[in-house]
Every structure is written in C-alpha cells, then in structure tokens.
Amino acid sequence: MKQELIDSIGAVRREVRACERDGRPARAIIAERTYDTTVKDVWDAITSRDRIPRWLAPIEGDLQLGGRYQVEGNAGGEITACDPPTHLAVTWELGGGVTWLDVHLSDGPGGTLLRLEHVALIDDLEQWGPFGPGAVGIGWDLALVGLAEHPGAHLPPDRRLRRTEQLVDDRLAHPYILTRDRAVSATRARRSAGSSTSTPSSGKR
C-alpha cells in the first residue's frame, strides 16, 4: 500500500505562484491530477453530499450557489460559483481566516483533468513563514489521493471507504498538521489577549 500511496501522490502536478487578491499580495497553491473517469463522475464526487465524505469528510449545509457549507472538523464557507459540471468555487474559512478555492474540471488525455487552486493572502496566513506551501498544500495532497480511490469504482466500495478513512486519520495525526494547528492557535490567542488589554479611544476630548 505504501508504494501505491507514493505513486498516487506522484500523480499530482503542483505549482506555487505569486498573485494578488483584492489588491493585496497572495500565494496560489495549484494542484492538477487526471482521474480515469468522466467529468460528470468527478463533478458528482466533489459536489454530492453523499459522496464527499468518502474522500474528504462529512459535510453539512446548503450545497448550492450562494449557500454555506461546513466540512466536519475542517473549514466552512460560501459557495461563490457553481457551473456544472466544470467549475466550483468556494470560500475556505477556518480559524477566523478566509482563503479562496477554485476547482476546474475538463476532458484530458486519460480521463478528467482536475485543477485545484487555493489562494491565501500572505499577511493573513501566519503559517506561511514557517511552513511555506505546506501551509495549505499537504491537506489537498491527501484529499486528491482519497478522491483517486473513489471515482471509477476500481475498488470495492467498502475498501475505498476504509482506505479514505485511513488517509483522513493519517492526515489529522501528521506532525505537520498538529504543529501548524498549535502554532496558529497560539498566534491567535496572543493577538486576542493583546487586543483585550488595550483600551479603545472614544474619540472624545
């Protein structure tokens, strides 16, 4: 299984590029992978309330354009674009911060090409300094591996589910994930403590 996992991770093309969001400096993490199934099947896998838990995590909310969603134990946000079966965009809101996620699907050699772009503002992303692209990239690597086990039905459903559950457990227990979450929590706690001890001015003399 270890070699299969290595091969699956190696099937993803990754890119990091500088960009802007609302006139502010940002970084975009881009991941592309081809899945041996149809665009319609991949679209259903990434948008269906029943199928998302098989490769990511349980999800709740109003899963339509303009609705809000919440991934169990992870981010929530708003669905800002939905053009079946090729384009989905959402805000990715976690720990008080907001980043932006775009997913495009297209026909390609060997199946369906999925292109994921996750944009984060540099000054809002405390973990970029210590972790760089890993600040948002590691979670998506594991999610794309999990998605590869789901579409196409090349494994029995119970085995696909068990393998995806194991990947989720491994991701949550990964030393980077634990260290990152602790660092972000500590930084926000310090900021909150600093703001609570300051006395705002009323503006009156």
CATH (domain of 67): 3.30.530.20
CA distances in angstroms from 148 to 19, 132, 166, listed in the order given: 29, 26, 14
Tens digit of each residue's pLDDT (9 = 90 or more) over 91-113: 999 888 899 999 999 998 889 99
Considering the domain boundaries, does residue 97 fall inside one? yes
Report the number of distinct structural domains present in the chain: 1
What's the whole-model pTM score? 0.69
- Does residue 109 lie in a domain region? yes
Residue 50 is given by DSSP the state T
Binned at pLDDT 50, 70 and 90, residue 7 comes out as confident
- Give the H/E segment covering residue 17: strand 13-21
Give yes or no for residue 17 having a pLDDT over 50: yes
Residue 11 lies in a domain: yes
Q: What percent of the chain has pLDDT over 90?
A: 38
Q: Show the domain range for 44.
A: 2-188
Indicate whether 171 pLDDT > 50.
no
Q: Is 79 left (phi over 0), alpha (psi -120 to 50) or beta?
A: beta
pLDDT band for position 154 (cuts 50, 70, 90): very low
